[in-house]
Amino acid sequence: MTSRNTVQRSIIEDELRRLANHPTADEVYEAVHVEHPSIGRATVYRTLGKLSDEGKIGRVRINNGADRFDHQTFAHYHVRCTCCGRVDDVMIPVLGDVDEVAARASGYQITSHSLQFDGICPACQEDLATTA
């Protein structure tokens, strides 16, 4: 069952698409709050969760960090900077048969997988090079 398309929901979804940088729920709230201070933090968190559950946005589960939200819903991978925490898309083919391989090896019925790369983003690499 789909949720009602409320004004608040549209504002939150539009802000996520405008940010387009894999923000946390708190970052979405802060951006929404600037123009719409009547929209509460709980509403933003709840709405992002519902949009994610409905497949209208992506939820990026970050190892040892807050979940991020993605306006792009097609299957793709992500990379996280271990210095600044920035999260970006990695546009490589999704490993299609890995679910089957994992199912055979584990006996589990695999429903999905995620792959997170960790590294140092170009901006942090530059900062490290100038301080060295």
CATH code for the domain of 42 = 1.10.10.10
Domain end point (choices 52, 70, 88): 70
Question: Does the pLDDT at position 1 exceed 50?
Answer: no
Residue 64 has a pLDDT of 83
How far is Cα of residue 58 from the mean position of the Cα atoms in its chain? 6
DSSP result, 71-123: S--SS-EEEEETTT--EEEE-S---STHHHHHHHHH---------EEEE--HH
1 domain residue, yes or no: no
- What is the pTM for the complete model shown? 0.83
pLDDT tens per residue across span 74-85: 989 999 999 999
Residue 131 has a pLDDT of 86
**Segments forming the whole domain that contains residue 120:** 77-131
Domain total for the chain? 2
How far is it, in rounded angstroms, from Cα 49 to Cα 55? 10
Query: Does 32 lie in the same domain as 83?
Result: no
pLDDT tens per residue across span 3-50: 566 999 999 999 999 999 999 999 999 999 999 999 999 999 999 999
Site of tokens 């792959």: 115
